[in-house]
């Protein structure tokens, strides 16, 4: 089946640094979503992308839908301690049902104060 | 209550027990989902319901039995589980068919002994 390769798997940064993570696939996707999961909680939707090339911001977060439709990235600017958590990308492939999302394995972000 | 709620938050059960997980969404959505989240693995879709009707069963073993009495409530009945079924079980909801933005509950941490 279709898979998403999310990288890096983990990041250790200093507070105030910018963060960049991405998801890639050998297949195209119609929609890209980015979620954040805190320990002991469910994923929270951060950004949704619907068109190739689309660039969307949510506060300090910026995400882009790759022009080839096979990748997406998420940037976090000026990281703060509450940014700690696991970030997941999710894609909706055209060959699957409208409600079936494929998830990446996550990027675990750790911030040193 | 707001968003998506799940009870219990933690559950320990023996392999011969029968238990149920409950999910309730307060978002006015028409679609509900069950996911399994295991360590080091991407989220796995289990079941999808649209307007109370099951529209997806992702080859889930029969020891997991979902029930959706209405668009706001979703249950997952568990019986004769195996230790490898221990995981975080997440419920999600979305507006409905064609809506890719899924909103998750906090999950139930299940341990099978």
CB contacts of B57 in chain A (<8 Å) are: none
Contacts of B46 (CB under 8 A, 6+ apart): B33, B34, B35, B36, B57, B58, B60, B64, B66, B76
Check: CB of residue A73 under 8 Å from CB of residue A63: yes
pLDDT category at A93 given cuts 50, 70, 90 is: confident
**Cβ–Cβ of B107/A102 closer than 8 Å?**
no
Overall average pLDDT of the B17-33 stretch: 95
Q: B75-97: per-residue pLDDT in tens?
A: 999 999 999 999 999 999 999 87
pLDDT category at B49 given cuts 50, 70, 90 is: very high
State the pLDDT at residue B39.
Answer: 87
- The answer on pLDDT for B52 being more than 60 is yes
Q: B53-70: per-residue pLDDT in tens?
A: 888 888 899 999 999 999
Is residue B32 less than 8 Å (CB to CB) from chain A?
Answer: no
Contacts of B48 (CB under 8 A, 6+ apart): A97, A99, A100, B31, B32, B33, B54, B55, B56
- The answer on pLDDT for B9 being more than 90 is yes
Higher-scoring residue by pLDDT: A98, A94: A94
State the pLDDT at residue A71.
Answer: 96
- The answer on pLDDT for A96 being more than 70 is no
| Residue A30: DSSP 8-state | S
Check: CB of residue B101 under 8 Å from CB of residue B94: yes
* Angle at the Cα of A81 from the Cα atoms of B37 and B42, rounded to 5 degrees: 15
Share of chain A above pLDDT 90, in %: 83
CB-CB: which of A40, A45, A90 is closest to B103?
A45
Total beta-carbon pairs less than 8 A apart between chain A and chain B: 64
- Closest chain B residue by Cα to residue A36: B104
CB-CB: which of B42, B45, B90 is closest to A100?
B45
């Amino acid at each position: 089946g279709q898979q998403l390769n999310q990288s890096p798997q983990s990041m250790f940064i200093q507070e105030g640094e910018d963060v960049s993570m991405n998801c890639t696939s050998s297949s195209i996707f119609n929609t890209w979503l980015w979620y954040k999961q805190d320990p002991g909680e469910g994923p929270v939707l951060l950004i949704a992308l619907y068109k190739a090339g689309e660039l969307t911001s949510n506060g300090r977060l910026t995400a882009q839908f790759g022009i080839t439709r096979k990748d997406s990235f998420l940037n976090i600017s000026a990281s703060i301690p509450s940014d700690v958590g696991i970030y997941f990308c999710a894609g909706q492939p055209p060959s699957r049902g409208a409600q079936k999302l494929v998830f990446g394995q996550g990027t675990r972000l750790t911030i040193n104060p | 209550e707001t968003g998506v709620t799940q009870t219990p938050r933690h559950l320990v059960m023996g392999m011969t027990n029968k238990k149920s997980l409950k999910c309730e969404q307060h978002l006015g959505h028409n679609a509900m989902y069950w996911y399994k989240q295991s360590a080091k693995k991407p989220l796995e879709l289990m079941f999808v319901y649209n307007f109370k009707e099951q529209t997806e069963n992702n080859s889930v073993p029969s020891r997991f039995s979902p029930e959706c009495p209405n668009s706001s409530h979703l249950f997952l009945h568990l019986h004769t589980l195996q230790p490898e079924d221990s995981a975080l079980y997440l419920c999600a909801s979305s507006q409905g068919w064609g809506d890719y933005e899924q909103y998750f509950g906090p999950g139930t941490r299940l341990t099978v002994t």
